[in-house]
Amino acid sequence: MSKIHIKDLKISTCHGCFAEEKINPQPFIFDCTIDYDFEKASQSDNLEDTLDYGSIMQLISDFATQNTFNLIETLCYRTASMIMQKYPVERILLTVRKPQAPVDLDFGDVSVSVQLERTPVILSLGSNMGDKKATLETAIRRLSENPAICLMKTSSYLENPPYGGVAKNTFVNCAVLVETYLSPESLLEYIHLIEKEAKRERTVRWGDRTLDIDIVFYGNKIIDSKNIVVPHNDYENRDFVLIPVNEICPDWICPLHRKRIKDILADLLSRQNNSR
């Protein structure tokens, strides 16, 4: 992947927690590295086949001068996010420096950096209460409404018996492939918001529910924290997850098992047949 660098873009604007910072402009310095494939532009020698770095710099300047934030962390993240939304870049590393930060010490500058990267993510969705298919369709629409999430593929809707021995009603399940630059934690937070809008209640583990959205894979990351486990725990034993995922991404390789989804599904179906 090729890179475009913008260095020492100086913009005089108002950002800070103190009242005087909000009315007295001071310099902010932006450094930006963008991953973008400009091989086509190298052959065509045409500006339309690459990123117009002049337009990107003007966009940064306009955003920085037309908004006022307390934190340079906010300024940095939202500027990077805006660029990701407007341009088809794969990754961006943005640093914002504040050389005149109101600190009574001898220092060069204060800076913050953020890196955003488009990552493919597979989600599993299920519902076994109310209008199940409509609930799933609404959830998928809500996912696509987030500017940080791009819906790539959606599987068929399949009816499945409840899993885990607690829920009573039949489920409708599907899977979606999205591309996002949200962190796994931020994506999970947005998923919980969608579940809450669908009146999801977390009272009984594996119980009946209006909506359940799980992060099955987040790129090739392996995460095991208090709030999130990726790849999703026990997915390889759940045909209602694997069949829809196999429909849209059969050659996806699980970072844990180092096997393709279609092979993991074949193993599960073989075990199920042998147990009958």
Q: How far is it, in rounded angstroms, from Cα 83 to Cα 219?
A: 21
Closest to 255 (Cα-Cα) out of 227, 230, 225, 229 = 230
Exactly one of 7, 22, 40, 98 is catalytic; which is it? 98
151-155 long-range Cβ contacts below 8 angstroms, 24+ apart: 151/176, 151/177, 151/178, 152/120, 152/176, 152/177, 152/178, 152/179, 153/177, 153/248, 153/249, 154/248, 155/244, 155/245, 155/247, 155/248
- How many CB atoms are closer than 10 A to CB 58? 11
Burial annotation 134-164 (CB, 10 A radius, 16+ → b, else e) = ebbebbbebbeebebbbbeebbeebebebbe
22 is catalytic: no
Helices 53-66, 72-86: axis angle to 10 degrees equals: 140
Angle at 132 between CA 149 and CA 167, to 5 degrees: 110
Q: 65 vs 58, 80, 98, 100, CA distance in Å?
A: 11, 15, 14, 17
CA atoms within 13 A on the CB side of 199: 8
Q: Which residues carry out catalysis?
A: 98
